[in-house]
Structure 1
Amino acid sequence: MNVHVSSSGFPALVLNADFRPLSYYPLSLWSWQDTIKAVFLERVNIVANYDHAVRSPSFEMKLPSVVSLKTFVKPSTHPAFTRFNVFLRDRFSCQYCGDRDDLTFDHLIPRSRGGLTTWDNVITACSPCNLRKANLTPDEARMFPSHYPFQPTVHQLHKNGRLFPPNYLHESWVDYLYWDSELEP
């Protein structure tokens, strides 16, 4: 139930029953409408609120800014093989030159030469590098990735996701997003 919501829409950060976010990237957010529904269906606990409230003639409720699920949802251990997750694994940068613009993905062993579209053969590349490498192997093109492809764990993707915080973070979310970050002396 991840929904794209803006800062003006009073989104709620959704935590698992262990108070960890369901997802870091994209951040697990619900619209205020979905959050209120979950509260009334008794599926979540309210952890923190906005100062803003919703009202009806007989009822008033502050909008939740952080909620936790009452039932623990076991996180997936193997992330889906998607273009976005490949970019996230590779930290949204070309593995050949480091550029962050015009990203696509490249097969280290080209498909025409039997290369598969798998975690172990696909990396993030910018379009110019991808065109330059063309239908060649890294040795033939003399282009070697800074990091070779691998199948990441959900933990590794979450760790990378924390490097790219969303444009909007409500102050009530920060303690739950970075609770396991190293503290400064």
Structure 2
Amino acid sequence: MNGLAISPESCPALVLNADYRPLSYYPLSLWSWQDAIKAVFLDRVNIVSQYDRAVRSPSFEFRLPSVVALKSYVKPARYPAFTRFNVFLRDRFTCQYCGTREELTFDHLIPRSRGGQTTWENVVTACAPCNLRKGGKMPDVAKMHPSRTPDRPTVYELHSNGRLFPPNYLHESWLDYLYWDTELQP
């Protein structure tokens, strides 16, 4: 710890399902240190790994959990909610027309003005300039087609895409649980 005091707020716990897989990858399933300790005392989780940091009271000391696993398996939903963030994640935060990752918004392939619905199959990630250029035109008229046909992803597909965008902070005790299912390099 190099003599520096580490704030408990900088010690979130990675939350694993009962099968020791993260509940989600993106956003990463994290609990505050308070929620993790509460779950321990309510006997809802097992502590898998701990930080060097402890919290204390006059009569008690408790090392903060860095990884916890739920005692009861939570069955993940097969399909994710239709949200702007999940559309971006499905499309890997990339404009489906030009490939940029700047100024992202979303575009209706069949414009709403022409009866297009706001659904997985009709919405793609687009940068603001491409969205403006396409406007209310159909893809053939605008000569703009997405790089991949939009569809409703599974939760597994979004988790897989989420692994491509690791968070800014990864505690070393989390690594075995985040990347255990990726192919090892020879």
Q: Which TM-score band applies after superposition, normalised by the shorter structure?
A: over 0.9
CA root-mean-square deviation? 1.2
Amino acid at match of 1:139: D
2:111 alignment partner in structure 1: 110
2:31 alignment partner in structure 1: 30
SS in 1 for 2:22: coil
Whole-Å separation in 1 of the counterparts to 2:18 and 2:172: 21
Whole-Å separation in 2 of the counterparts to 1:21 and 1:148: 29
TM-score normalised by length of structure 2: 0.95
- Check whether the contact 2:8–2:33 (CA below 8 A) recurs between aligned residues: no
Q: CA deviation at 1:57?
A: 1.1
Q: 1:151 to 1:7 in 2, by over 3 A?
A: farther
Amino acid at match of 1:52: R
Whole-Å separation in 1 of the counterparts to 2:9 and 2:100: 32
Whole-Å separation in 2 of the counterparts to 1:88 and 1:184: 25
Whole-Å separation in 1 of the counterparts to 2:126 and 2:180: 33
> What per-residue deviation string (whole Å, max 9, x for no partner) do you get for residues 47-77 of structure 1?
0000111111111111000000001101000
SS in 2 for 1:100: coil
Gaps of 5+ in 2: 1-6
Gaps of 5+ in 1: 1-5
Amino acid at match of 1:103: L
Amino acid at match of 2:77: S
Whole-Å separation in 2 of the counterparts to 1:127 and 1:148: 19
Amino acid at match of 2:167: P
Amino acid at match of 1:21: P
2:153 alignment partner in structure 1: 152
SS in 1 for 2:52: strand
Amino acid at match of 2:115: G
Aligned positions of 1:122-161 closer than 5 A:
122-161=123-162
SS in 2 for 1:48: strand
1:17 alignment partner in structure 2: 18
> What per-residue deviation string (whole Å, max 9, x for no partner) do you get for residues 7-42 of structure 1?
952000000000000011100000001101111111
Q: CA deviation at 1:78?
A: 1.0
Q: CA deviation at 1:148?
A: 1.4
Would you say how many aligned residue pairs link Structure 1 and Structure 2? Answer: 180
Q: Is residue 2:170 matched to residue 1:169? A: yes
- Check whether the contact 1:17–1:71 (CA below 8 A) recurs between aligned residues: yes
- Check whether the contact 1:86–1:124 (CA below 8 A) recurs between aligned residues: yes
Whole-Å separation in 2 of the counterparts to 1:56 and 1:118: 52
SS in 2 for 1:173: helix
Aligned positions of 1:54-133 closer than 5 A:
54-133=55-134
2:40 alignment partner in structure 1: 39
Q: 1:7 to 1:167 in 2, by over 3 A?
A: farther
2:53 alignment partner in structure 1: 52
Whole-Å separation in 2 of the counterparts to 1:148 and 1:86: 13
2:4 alignment partner in structure 1: none
Runs of 4+ in 1 over 3 A off after TM superposition: none
Percent of matched pairs sharing the same residue: 76
Q: CA deviation at 1:143?
A: 0.8
1:3 alignment partner in structure 2: none
